[in-house]
Amino acid sequence: MSSVLILDFGSQYTQLIARRVREAKVYCEIHPYNVSASKVRELAPAGIILSGGPASVYDQDAPSPDPAILEMGTPLLGICYGMGIITQSDGGVVEKAAAHEYGHAELVVHENDDLLAGFDLDESTVVWMSHGDRLEAMPEGWEVIAASSNSPYAALRKLDRKRYGVQFHPEVVHTREGRRILENFLFRVCGLEADWTMENFIETTTAKIRKQVGRGRVVCGISGGVDSTVTAALIQKAVPGQLDCVFVDNGLLRKNEAGEVRAFLGERFGDALIFVDASDRFLDALEGVSDPELKRKIIGRTFIEVFEEAAHSPREGKASASFLGQGTLYPDVIESVSVNGPSATIKSHHNVGGLPEHMKLDLVEPLRELFKDEVRAAGRVLGIPHSMLWRHPFPGPGLAVRILGPIRRDDLEILREADAIFIEEIRDAGLYEDIWQAFAVLLPIHTVGVQGDDRTYDRVIALRAIVSEDGMTADWFRFPPEILAKASSRIANEVHGVNRVVYDVSSKPPATVEWE
Ligand code: XMP
């Protein structure tokens, strides 16, 4: 299957370029701008897209690719900074523009026989600009194929029709016909075919798993979340009878979750499912612990112990596993190009990636190439029900980071009840899938209330619901007020020990999604 290489120069839109290419059913990979020429030869892409980036190509240490990559004869499309790189390497001159151009611009098309096929000549189309530099002198052997009022060289090509540059961003939705431009590059310029489909992905991935695993056994930690469920389903399809799925009840799951997930997984994976009820072990280990990072460490460590015991006590007649199935996704794999230095650790996220060396398990990561919505699409093809594929994300440490302060068993019950009411109201309002994540948090304070003729001194529940693309940034969800009113009154009336409900109106940043 042919592919496209995206060279990342640190643009905030690099992942969007990849999304658009894959939506056109073409496989692509993002690599940092300084990837080696030999690696690129190995990938043998049919086209290379150079992303935008925050630097200026005329800066002393401007990020630039190995020149050999540009000379391979592979068709190139440079976007914004990427266009500067290509044109400068051909003798063009990029300089600081007199005025920054940011936002919508009208693009007038002069040539419509390849990159801009399908556009009317001399008609204008809206594109999205975001740049402070612009090309001031065209390299020799190039021609303009579209211009805007501020960018006379808004789109250009080399006469050999192997190199293209666009000053605007075809990958963002504000560029009305951006999808068409990228598709023209893929199908007309590079001669690619739309052959990246989920059925295709599943077929090639299961073949890869079979080759990697041979007759060995694979163990998978499974939480009932989308990523681990689809990972296990792919492995089971590839090597049926060689998989063990370990589902651990850590005592920190939501109301009825352990039972429901266990029932679903039991039905789907049959004998492959190993269920471990380790609630007491986790809750005992967490007793009296308030510090959020310590909670995470204890939960991570206990999980590894429990998982290792389950993985190392193979069922009768079966060898122990030598492979670990893991639901790593593409955004975790992309080596991000950071222009501001490494980012600080805000919260240490725990996952099975931290398994001890001595377990000596080789990783099987069938989702390494996928974005989240592609994982859902794969899940759909594998017959996993919609309700499982669209569950909100749930953190590994579970309710432990939603009970502020030490975790008591009766507090877990209060939180579970309140959370279940909130989610039920969201579902009843038909809003569950409009929201990235919604949950209740139990605060460690008492406030005064009144119930009948009596004064109460009870706990406070905070409700949080957010919209987000990837969990990295988030905004609070704007509920119709009557939904919050109903959730609030039900929680205060139905959950014993709670007399006040508040709604969290913080975005991320400055807040985080979870309260701990
Ligand atoms: P924060 O709170 O960091 O959350 O803004 C971003 C996303 O990550 C989830 N989250 C976690 N997931 N282990 C996990 O597996 C963790 O320790 C953890 N902490 C936060 C959170 O639910 C949100 O989706």
Residue ranges in the chain whose pLDDT is less than 70:
314-317, 335-356
471 within ligand 1 shell (Cβ under 6 A): yes
Give the residues across from 51 on adjacent strands: none
Residues 143 and 249 in one domain: no
Instruction: Confirm whether 395 is domain-assigned.
Output: no
31 within ligand 1 shell (Cβ under 6 A): no
Residues 277 and 182 in one domain: no
Cα of 512 vs centre of ligand 1, distance in Å, is 8
Residues 413 and 355 in one domain: no
CA-closest candidate to residue 155, choices 232, 86, 213: 86
CA-closest candidate to residue 27, choices 211, 229, 201: 201
Query: Can you tell me whether residue 58 is helix, strand or coil?
Result: coil
Euclidean distance between CA atoms 250 and 280, whole angstroms: 8
Instruction: Confirm whether 163 is domain-assigned.
Output: yes
372 within ligand 1 shell (Cβ under 6 A): no
437 within ligand 1 shell (Cβ under 6 A): yes
34 within ligand 1 shell (Cβ under 6 A): no
At 147 the pLDDT is 95
In this structure, the strands spanning 273-277 and 437-451 are: unpaired
Instruction: Confirm whether 113 is domain-assigned.
Output: yes
The closest-lying atom of ligand 1 relative to the alpha carbon of residue 515 is 2
Residue 46 near residue 74, CB atoms below 8 Å:
yes
140: tokens are 């020799």
Instruction: Confirm whether 508 is domain-assigned.
Output: no
513 within ligand 1 shell (Cβ under 6 A): yes
CATH of the domain at 432: 3.30.300.10
Amino acid at 227: D
* Nearest CA, atom 14, ligand 1: 395
Residues 341 and 411 in one domain: no
Choosing from 28, 31, 101, 171, the catalytic residue is 171
Residues 159 and 306 in one domain: no
CA-closest candidate to residue 103, choices 127, 135, 132, 78: 127
CATH of the domain at 283: 3.40.50.620
22 within ligand 1 shell (Cβ under 6 A): no
Euclidean distance between CA atoms 247 and 367, whole angstroms: 19
Cα of 244 vs centre of ligand 1, distance in Å, is 26
At 349 the pLDDT is 56
Residues 341 and 368 in one domain: yes
Residues 484 and 363 in one domain: no
Euclidean distance between CA atoms 394 and 402, whole angstroms: 11
Ligand 1, from 514, 515, 516: best to mutate by most atoms within 8 Å of Cβ? 514
Instruction: Confirm whether 396 is domain-assigned.
Output: no
pLDDT in tens, 314-350: 666 677 889 999 999 988 887 666 554 444 556 665 4
The closest-lying atom of ligand 1 relative to the alpha carbon of residue 436 is 24
Side-chain-side CA neighbours of residue 468 (13 Å): 22
Cα separation of the two ends of the chain: 44
Query: Can you tell me whether residue 300 is helix, strand or coil?
Result: helix
Residue corresponding to tokens 């026989």? 113
At 313 the pLDDT is 72
At 340 the pLDDT is 46
User: How far is residue 487 from each of residues 367, 427, 437, 440, measured CA to CA in Å?
Assistant: 37, 11, 16, 11
The closest-lying atom of ligand 1 relative to the alpha carbon of residue 474 is 5
Domain span holding position 29: 3-189
406 within ligand 1 shell (Cβ under 6 A): no
Note if 140 is an active site residue: no
Note if 169 is an active site residue: yes
Euclidean distance between CA atoms 502 and 512, whole angstroms: 17
CA-closest candidate to residue 155, choices 175, 173, 174, 102: 175
Cα of 258 vs centre of ligand 1, distance in Å, is 20
257: tokens are 């979750």
Instruction: Confirm whether 394 is domain-assigned.
Output: no
pLDDT in tens, 480-492: 999 999 999 999 9
Give the residues across from 49 on adjacent strands: 6, 77
350 within ligand 1 shell (Cβ under 6 A): yes
CA-closest candidate to residue 51, choices 170, 193, 158: 170
Cα of 395 vs centre of ligand 1, distance in Å, is 5
Euclidean distance between CA atoms 508 and 26, whole angstroms: 33
Note if 220 is an active site residue: no
At 347 the pLDDT is 64
Query: Can you tell me whether residue 398 is helix, strand or coil?
Result: helix
Domain boundary among 127, 159, 189: 189
Q: Which residues contact 161 (CB under 8 A, 6 or more apart)?
A: 114, 189
Domain boundary among 189, 206, 235: 189
At 355 the pLDDT is 66
Instruction: Confirm whether 45 is domain-assigned.
Output: yes
182: tokens are 């990228």
CA-closest candidate to residue 57, choices 135, 138, 4: 135
* Exposure string for 466-477, b = 16+ CB within 10 A, e = fewer: bebeebeebebb
| Total domain count, the chain | 3
At 319 the pLDDT is 76
Residues 476 and 406 in one domain: yes
Residues 26 and 66 in one domain: yes
At 331 the pLDDT is 81
Choosing from 31, 169, 369, 374, the catalytic residue is 169
Please give the full DSSP string across 371-389, using - where no structure is assigned. -HHHHHHHHHHTT--HHHH
508 within ligand 1 shell (Cβ under 6 A): yes
Residues 167 and 223 in one domain: no
Cα of 453 vs centre of ligand 1, distance in Å, is 42
At 350 the pLDDT is 43
The closest-lying atom of ligand 1 relative to the alpha carbon of residue 437 is 24
Cα of 408 vs centre of ligand 1, distance in Å, is 21
Cα of 388 vs centre of ligand 1, distance in Å, is 19
* Exposure string for 13-37, b = 16+ CB within 10 A, e = fewer: bbbbbbbbbbebbbbbbbbbbebee
Instruction: Confirm whether 512 is domain-assigned.
Output: no
Please give the full DSSP string across 215-282, using - where no structure is assigned. T--EEEE--SSHHHHHHHHHHHHHSTTSEEEEEEE-S---TTHHHHHHHHHHHHHGGGEEEEE-HHHH
Query: Can you tell me whether residue 293 is helix, strand or coil?
Result: helix
Handedness of CA 167, 170, 175, 181 (dihedral sign): positive
Choosing from 80, 190, 220, 245, the catalytic residue is 80
Domain boundary among 154, 189, 224: 189
41 within ligand 1 shell (Cβ under 6 A): no
Residues 13 and 75 in one domain: yes
At 140 the pLDDT is 95
At 474 the pLDDT is 92
Residues 435 and 313 in one domain: no
Handedness of CA 23, 5, 90, 172 (dihedral sign): positive
CATH of the domain at 17: 3.40.50.880
225: tokens are 């979340």
User: How far is residue 251 from each of residues 293, 304, 388, measured CA to CA in Å?
Assistant: 18, 15, 20
